[in-house]
A and B are shown apart, each in its own frame.
Chain A
Amino acid sequence: AQSVAQPEDQVNVAEGNPLTVKCTYSVSGNPYLFWYVQYPNRGLQFLLKYITGDNLVKGSYGFEAEFNKSQTSFHLKKPSALVSDSALYFCAVRDERGSSASKIIFGSGTRLSIRP
């Protein structure tokens, strides 16, 4: 069965500094990896995905993520944080193989707080 871990409950960054939100995963086949963001009292919004191809994927709002197969990681990054990036971020994984190949499992979430 697939699983995903976000080791940090909260990440605090000063505006203008780079940010990283960590994610590691476990699957039996090849992973499909995703990042979603949730703003207060709002629904989940898709940020970016890795299915195949380049290990560095770019998404919405200037975010990017790097797929690292050897470390089974998919960390979310942004070169320069904005106060408006403050939100709850979820990493998610889908295993392309097996009986559960259709479902997506979410990590525990990381609350990103950007201070002015």
Chain B
Amino acid sequence: SAVISQKPSRDICQRGTSLTIQCQVDSQVTMMFWYRQQPGQSLTLIATANQGSEATYESGFVIDKFPISRPNLTFSTLTVSNMSPEDSSIYLCSAYGGSGANVLTFGAGSRLTVL
């Protein structure tokens, strides 16, 4: 099954700054997904990242705030721009490739705290 690595695993950031989260998959995948999770709560899909095209954002998420790059079939980045305390959350990268073609595998997550 696919193995997904994310970094940083956690960070403390200042209000108004931006942070880029990196996601590396150990195999080629067509689609990658970025989710956000408040600790102990549900996952909310931010966007779908396809290689060679712009990311598709879910309602409530915009490219200016969460720009995504997908330069190749094994890598993606999510930037959280102009951060505020409301952006404090766990950001999860995922891709299909675990336990069968239809199963999403997740990275361990990046826990961001914005002061």
Cβ-closest chain B residue relative to A94: B102
> Of A34, A88, A102, which contacts B48 at CB under 8 A?
A102
Complex-state Cα separation, A105 to B45, whole angstroms: 7
Residue-by-residue, is A37-54 near B (CB-CB < 8 Å gives 1, otherwise 0)?
000001110100101000
Q: What are the residues of chain A within 8 A of B40 when measuring CB–CB?
A: 88, 109, 111
Q: Is the Cβ of B102 less than 8 Å from the Cβ of A103? A: no
Q: Is the Cβ of B106 less than 8 Å from the Cβ of A49? A: no
Number of interface residues of B (CB under 8 A): 22
In the complex, number of A-B residue pairs with CB atoms less than 8 Å apart:
47
- The A interface, classified by DSSP as helix, strand, loop or mixed, is strand
Q: Is the Cβ of B100 less than 8 Å from the Cβ of A103? A: no
Q: What are the residues of chain B within 8 A of A34 when measuring CB–CB?
A: 103-104
Report A54-100 residues with CB < 8 Å from chain B CB. Answer: 88, 90, 92, 94
Q: What are the residues of chain A within 8 A of B53 when measuring CB–CB?
A: none
Verify if B43 is at the interface (C-beta below 8 Å from A): yes
19 A-B residue contacts at CB 8 Å?
A43-B92, A43-B108, A43-B109, A44-B43, A44-B106, A46-B98, A46-B103, A49-B102, A49-B103, A88-B40, A90-B42, A103-B45, A104-B45, A104-B104, A105-B45, A106-B44, A108-B41, A109-B41, A111-B40
B residues with a Cβ closer than 8 A to A are: 31, 33, 35, 40-45, 48, 92, 98-100, 102-109
A residues with a Cβ closer than 8 A to B are: 32, 34, 42-44, 46, 49, 51, 88, 90, 92, 94, 102-109, 111
- 11 more A-B contacts (CB under 8 A) besides A102-B48, A106-B42? A42-B108, A43-B106, A43-B107, A44-B43, A46-B104, A49-B100, A92-B104, A103-B33, A104-B104, A106-B44, A109-B41
